A and B are shown apart, each in its own frame.
Chain A
Amino acid sequence: MGAAHSASEEVRELEGKTGFSSDQIEQLHRRFKQLSGDQPTIRFPIRDPVCLIYLCSRHLEQCLAPRRNACRVAELLSLKENFNNVPDLELNPIRSKIVRAFFDNRNLRKGSSGLADEINFEDFLTIMSYFRPIDTTMDEEQVELSRKEKLRFLFHMYDSDSDGRITLEEYRNVVEELLSGNPHIEKESARSIADGAMMEAASVCMGQMEPDQVYEGITFEDFLKIWQGIDIETKMHVRFLNMETMALCH
């Protein structure tokens, strides 16, 4: 009784924080559990072997207690990348960025830089809440606010080193990733595209440039300016209530 009561309280709390309805929260919870393998948290997927070794060694220290050897090793071996449960994500050219976005402290509102090691369900919901459709009943200010939030999410995806600016290198990175799906495009052309885009951004944001001026990178305000003409509302949202259970059983 108490447990159920606190669970629904939690749900209501989450509802309040993230704006999802209880149905959606439940569905997302199911999905979260599937992704995390019934663990309470999803760990940041390790792709870098060095990182892996480091983490392994960290676990190994704890494993040295003989009793816990077996289960720890199992845990070690199960240090799989949780987001591998999503096979279709493999095809996505920007998957690493997407996965990273889940662990980004800025998106989780936990800090201004860095990556979290793991996220719990509330964090998961926080990220998902960026993709809620903009409610038409909200007033102007709220619409503007939520639009800004979405754009900020996007901005963080570009700005991987959290310095508040999208530099040319980061931009190039993004474009290369975007085009990585096609083997016929070389990095060079991706770079050219990124360069061209940066040029354009500079022109939009800074207008006429003095000869000495250096365009350092796209700040968030500039980013907003670029996005002014495009309506993000219809693009950056996912219909959460339409999830089919079919998709959940792979």
Chain B
Amino acid sequence: MALQMFVTLSPWNCLLLLVALECSEASSDLNESANSTAQYAPNAWFAAASSEPDERISVFELDFDYVQIPYEVTLWILLASLAKIGFHLYRRLPGLMPESCLLILVGALVGGIIFGTDHKSPPVMDSSIYFLYLLPPIVLEGGYFMPTRPFFENIGSILWWAVLGALINALGIGLSLYFICQVKAFGLGDVNLLQNLLFGSLISAVDPVAVLAVFEEARVNEQLYMMIFGEALLNDGITVVLYNMLIAFTKMHKFEDIEPVDILAGCARFVIVGLGGVLFGVVFGFISAFITRFTQNISAIEPLIVFMFSYLSYLAAETLYLSGILAITACAVTMKKYVEENVSQTSYTTIKYFMKMLSSVSETLIFIFMGVSTVGKNHEWNWAFICFTLAFCQIWRAISVFALFYISNQFRTFPFSIKDQCIIFYSGVRGAGSFSLAFLLPLSLFPRKKMFVTATLVVIYFTVFIQGITIGPLVRYLDVKKTNKKESINEELHIRLMDHLKAGIEDVCGHWSHYQVRDKFKKFDHRYLRKILIRKNLPKSSIVSLYKKLEMKQAIEMVETGILSSTAFSIPHQAQRIQGIKRLSPEDVESIRDILTSNMYQVRQRTLSYNKYNLKPQTSEKQAKEILIRRQNTLRESMRKGHSLPWGKPAGTKNVRYLSFPYGNPQSAGRDTKAAEFSDDDSSDPGSPSIMFSALSRIGSLQKQEAQEIIPMKSLHRGRKAFNSGYQRNTSQEEYLGGVRSVALRPKPLFHAVDEEARPDKQYHLLISMRTCC
């Protein structure tokens, strides 16, 4: 009958249906033997076609079986990607709901198609496939992109919250459900304690990272962010450990056989599994960091090393029944710092993007499986169980949040307010983890598996959709303490000073703060680890020598055009009558902030914003600027060594005219104003002072000009950002050009600097400040 249906349809319709059916077949065929495919209509059609005796060589053949599985998986992933594109095209949407909402919907759609066309039960996701292939990338990505400094500063609270929270949730939900099951009226009598506990452990696996994007929109403060992040990171590991342990318990068949010894052993095992996993991860992290030290000539395999070692740590830990998740997380965290310094720029980018891609693919597949299994006959709906599960999830999360934070607030200098705790409570969104664990419950041990799966799905849907969508407005409503994005450098400076001061005072009064631990680790790190793990001589690439000449030429050009264009300044800029002082452009502030953040030794860094589903675009800038950094470095070197520039006196006497003051010589003032990129009413009024910035802000203002020198300066300026925020490739010390720079100062009350030199020197100074600034 189905066959006839196909035969009667037009070829195009056939093709479309084929696509849809391919999806369904993919799901059905994945991990199933090929025999079952024979029952499906299209295959039957093909089979029918090929079963005819081959008399002639056919011009057009179709062999779908061969590519079926990869074909369909690819189609799924593409479909999800298209959906994501659409999701992000509408700009407000990512801030409104977590992306996992979207993925679930796509999955449900695919499931719907399968269900609608096939009337077959949804596919099976194999336990080994999940644990071996789908889970590691997700965890690796979480570990790699974790902002380490805030994490380790809050590590006490995070560990306390994540570990105990997971345990309390799991046991609480399990026990409460067990008591519910005892009630005869609900017909759940056959679900014993162990099964309930197991269900409790898997349902307590939260995936709040999904809501972090929503958080970012609302700009919650760093502490809150870190707690949620840390919880997400550790939660997976803990839940899986618990799960495996309880499965082992369940396999002991008789409940009565379990003695207190077993329970104690279970607890001890829990600890060993966790710590052992971390240890493995750290060891593998160091090994891979060490190996990347030697890969400078074959940088193409660097990403490979990173990924393979992380994966190896996972597998090695799993072999010994240790926690692979914690191993791979620890490996990523350890490895990141050293690897980032050793690998080449492109490898670095590759690693990041590839990691994101892998984790994205894994997650997509899991969610699609989930959606597919939603729409199907694989359910058992038990009102009592499901409703109570939902209720208990919320109740126990609330209990654990408020109780644990109440205790940990006693020890924190920055306690979490009730609002923060409400947010943390509400961010308990379940995700792919719970579903996978539920799906992989062995049917033999869990006769009522379908009920568990249904309950899990309901909880996931509820939390993801309802909580995920409403958490944004909730955060805004509660007016959670936001990070005050500092726009001003002053604030930045003062806060940094404050932090250092506080650390200093704490040191003086003997306060054992965690800074000491970190300092000790840093000392150890510097003395031993870095020597072993970091590549010694960063190779002087050939680009450097190549660009040397270019730099010289460019420098000369800059100076020349500077001389020439000074007279032209007045005209275009008369329009810009800037009154008063302009604040530095955000770019300048950013760069300053970068400078400051990367140089403060103990002060906590602002949390990098983390998005689970894509990378921040600015990273691409870094890559493009590396060349420019190198160019600029060579310029500096050439200038330092050569002094071959034909003009001007040494820079020592140079400084920028700072603020307005009636300078003695109106003529020079006029010249200065002309030279100022950022000038006020300049040429028309040479005597009128202008407000000038120093070199840094000059760069910002230079953007306004059309002079050729601007472009490299601007990009160098941005290159500065990159330079500072990570892999500092040049280790050369900066020296002053031509000796000591002395600032010629007026008597104190007027703070300014005198700039008396002629034009070429100014440009020279410009160059120098460009050079030294970046």
Query: B773 interface residue, CB < 8 Å from A?
Result: yes
With a cutoff of 8 Å between Cβ atoms, the chain B residues found around residue A28 in the complex are 509
With a cutoff of 8 Å between Cβ atoms, the chain A residues found around residue B658 in the complex are 168, 195, 198
Question: Could you tell me the distance between the alpha carbons of A35 and B736 in the complex, rounded to whole angstroms?
Answer: 39
Q: Would A169 and B745 count as touching, CB distance under 8 A?
A: yes
Q: Would A235 and B502 count as touching, CB distance under 8 A?
A: yes
* Max chain A C-beta neighbours (<10 A), residue from B505, B658, B696, B734: B505
Question: Could you tell me the distance between the alpha carbons of A229 and B414 in the complex, rounded to whole angstroms?
Answer: 18
With a cutoff of 8 Å between Cβ atoms, the chain B residues found around residue A232 in the complex are 498
From residue 82 to 118 of chain A, which have CB atoms closer than 8 A to chain B? Answer: 83, 86, 88-89, 91-95, 98, 102
What 0/1 pattern do residues 597 to 624 of B give for CB contact below 8 A with A? 0111110000000000000000000000
> Given A94-B504, A226-B490, A235 and B588 touching (CB < 8 A)?
no
Q: Would A243 and B510 count as touching, CB distance under 8 A?
A: yes
Question: Could you tell me the distance between the alpha carbons of A153 and B219 in the complex, rounded to whole angstroms?
Answer: 32
Q: Would B689 and A179 count as touching, CB distance under 8 A?
A: no
With a cutoff of 8 Å between Cβ atoms, the chain A residues found around residue B460 in the complex are none
Q: How far apart are B389's CB and chain A's nearest CB, in angstroms? A: 40
Query: A128 interface residue, CB < 8 Å from B?
Result: yes
Q: Would A174 and B497 count as touching, CB distance under 8 A?
A: yes
Partner among B519, B656, B693 whose Cβ is within 8 Å of the Cβ of A91:
B519
Q: How far apart are B593's CB and chain A's nearest CB, in angstroms? A: 10
With a cutoff of 8 Å between Cβ atoms, the chain B residues found around residue A167 in the complex are 748-749, 751
With a cutoff of 8 Å between Cβ atoms, the chain A residues found around residue B688 in the complex are 211
Question: Could you tell me the distance between the alpha carbons of A198 and B697 in the complex, rounded to whole angstroms?
Answer: 12
Question: Could you tell me the distance between the alpha carbons of A183 and B732 in the complex, rounded to whole angstroms?
Answer: 9
What 0/1 pattern do residues 227 to 266 of B give for CB contact below 8 A with A? 0000000000000000000000000000000000000000
With a cutoff of 8 Å between Cβ atoms, the chain A residues found around residue B584 in the complex are 196, 199-200
> Given A196-B694, A199-B581, A242 and B496 touching (CB < 8 A)?
no
Q: Would B494 and A154 count as touching, CB distance under 8 A?
A: yes
Q: Would A195 and B504 count as touching, CB distance under 8 A?
A: no
Question: Could you tell me the distance between the alpha carbons of A91 and B507 in the complex, rounded to whole angstroms?
Answer: 10
With a cutoff of 8 Å between Cβ atoms, the chain A residues found around residue B768 in the complex are 188
With a cutoff of 8 Å between Cβ atoms, the chain B residues found around residue A197 in the complex are 488-490, 493
From residue 193 to 250 of chain A, which have CB atoms closer than 8 A to chain B? Answer: 193, 195-204, 207-209, 211-217, 226-227, 229-230, 232, 234-240, 242-244, 246-248
Query: B499 interface residue, CB < 8 Å from A?
Result: yes
Question: Could you tell me the distance between the alpha carbons of A215 and B689 in the complex, rounded to whole angstroms?
Answer: 13
What 0/1 pattern do residues 500 to 518 of B give for CB contact below 8 A with A? 1111111111111001100
Query: B662 interface residue, CB < 8 Å from A?
Result: yes
> Given A157-B501, A204-B490, A226-B490, A247 and B512 touching (CB < 8 A)?
yes
Partner among A168, A184, A189, A235 whose Cβ is within 8 Å of the Cβ of B696:
A189
Question: Could you tell me the distance between the alpha carbons of A246 and B514 in the complex, rounded to whole angstroms?
Answer: 13
Q: Would B749 and A193 count as touching, CB distance under 8 A?
A: no
* Complex: chain B residue closest to A93, CB-CB: B500
Question: Could you tell me the distance between the alpha carbons of A189 and B488 in the complex, rounded to whole angstroms?
Answer: 17
Query: A181 interface residue, CB < 8 Å from B?
Result: yes
Query: A34 interface residue, CB < 8 Å from B?
Result: yes
Question: Could you tell me the distance between the alpha carbons of A187 and B502 in the complex, rounded to whole angstroms?
Answer: 24
Q: Would A239 and B413 count as touching, CB distance under 8 A?
A: yes
With a cutoff of 8 Å between Cβ atoms, the chain A residues found around residue B601 in the complex are 91-93, 181
Question: Could you tell me the distance between the alpha carbons of A243 and B659 in the complex, rounded to whole angstroms?
Answer: 47
Question: Could you tell me the distance between the alpha carbons of A207 and B494 in the complex, rounded to whole angstroms?
Answer: 20
Query: B308 interface residue, CB < 8 Å from A?
Result: no
Query: A43 interface residue, CB < 8 Å from B?
Result: no
With a cutoff of 8 Å between Cβ atoms, the chain B residues found around residue A78 in the complex are none
Query: B733 interface residue, CB < 8 Å from A?
Result: yes
Q: How far apart are A164's CB and chain B's nearest CB, in angstroms? A: 11
> Given A189-B696, A211-B660, A243-B511, A236 and B502 touching (CB < 8 A)?
yes
> Given A91-B519, A235-B498, A215 and B509 touching (CB < 8 A)?
no
> Given A168-B752, A227-B494, A195 and B599 touching (CB < 8 A)?
no
Q: Would B751 and A191 count as touching, CB distance under 8 A?
A: no
With a cutoff of 8 Å between Cβ atoms, the chain A residues found around residue B598 in the complex are 182
Q: Would A86 and B507 count as touching, CB distance under 8 A?
A: yes
Query: A186 interface residue, CB < 8 Å from B?
Result: yes
Q: Would A212 and B697 count as touching, CB distance under 8 A?
A: no
Q: Would A213 and B660 count as touching, CB distance under 8 A?
A: yes
With a cutoff of 8 Å between Cβ atoms, the chain A residues found around residue B750 in the complex are 214, 216
Question: Could you tell me the distance between the alpha carbons of A188 and B720 in the complex, rounded to whole angstroms?
Answer: 14
Q: Would A212 and B580 count as touching, CB distance under 8 A?
A: no
Q: Would A226 and B494 count as touching, CB distance under 8 A?
A: yes
Question: Could you tell me the distance between the alpha carbons of A212 and B689 in the complex, rounded to whole angstroms?
Answer: 7
* Complex: chain A residue closest to B662, CB-CB: A212
Question: Could you tell me the distance between the alpha carbons of A125 and B489 in the complex, rounded to whole angstroms?
Answer: 32
With a cutoff of 8 Å between Cβ atoms, the chain B residues found around residue A73 in the complex are none
Query: B55 interface residue, CB < 8 Å from A?
Result: no
Interface size on B, residues (CB 8 A): 76
> Given A157-B497, A193-B595, A98 and B505 touching (CB < 8 A)?
yes
With a cutoff of 8 Å between Cβ atoms, the chain A residues found around residue B484 in the complex are 229-230
Query: B416 interface residue, CB < 8 Å from A?
Result: no
Q: How far apart are B762's CB and chain A's nearest CB, in angstroms? A: 15
Partner among A184, A189, A195, A243 whose Cβ is within 8 Å of the Cβ of B728:
A184
Q: Would A174 and B510 count as touching, CB distance under 8 A?
A: no
* Complex: chain A residue closest to B688, CB-CB: A211
What 0/1 pattern do residues 102 to 123 of B give for CB contact below 8 A with A? 0000000000000000000000
> Given A179-B599, A196-B694, A211-B688, A226 and B512 touching (CB < 8 A)?
no
With a cutoff of 8 Å between Cβ atoms, the chain A residues found around residue B583 in the complex are 199-200, 203
Q: Would A230 and B588 count as touching, CB distance under 8 A?
A: no
Query: B661 interface residue, CB < 8 Å from A?
Result: yes
Q: Would B580 and A208 count as touching, CB distance under 8 A?
A: yes
Query: B695 interface residue, CB < 8 Å from A?
Result: yes
Q: Would A189 and B414 count as touching, CB distance under 8 A?
A: no
Partner among B505, B511, B600 whose Cβ is within 8 Å of the Cβ of A247:
B511
> Given A236-B501, A247-B512, A211 and B689 touching (CB < 8 A)?
yes
Q: Would B509 and A243 count as touching, CB distance under 8 A?
A: yes
Query: B440 interface residue, CB < 8 Å from A?
Result: no
Query: B769 interface residue, CB < 8 Å from A?
Result: yes
* Complex: chain A residue closest to B501, CB-CB: A98
Q: How far apart are A244's CB and chain B's nearest CB, in angstroms? A: 4
Question: Could you tell me the distance between the alpha carbons of A31 and B509 in the complex, rounded to whole angstroms?
Answer: 6
Please, could you name 6 A-B residue pairs with CB atoms under 8 Å apart, sorted by A? A163-B748, A178-B496, A182-B598, A197-B489, A214-B660, A235-B502
Known: A35-B508, A88-B519, A203-B583. 8 other contacts (CB 8 A): A93-B600, A93-B601, A188-B695, A195-B693, A200-B583, A212-B689, A229-B484, A229-B491
Q: What are the 4 closest A-B residue pairs judged by CB atoms, nearest first? A: A168-B751, A192-B696, A195-B694, A182-B599
User: Residues on B close to A: CB < 8 A?
Assistant: 413-414, 484, 488-491, 493-512, 515-516, 519, 579-584, 588, 592, 595-596, 598-602, 656, 658-662, 680, 688-689, 691, 693-697, 724, 728, 733-734, 736, 741, 745, 748-752, 768-769, 772-773
User: Residues on A close to B: CB < 8 A?
Assistant: 28, 31, 34-35, 83, 86, 88-89, 91-95, 98, 102, 128, 131, 154, 157, 163, 165, 167-169, 174-175, 178-179, 181-189, 191-193, 195-204, 207-209, 211-217, 226-227, 229-230, 232, 234-240, 242-244, 246-248
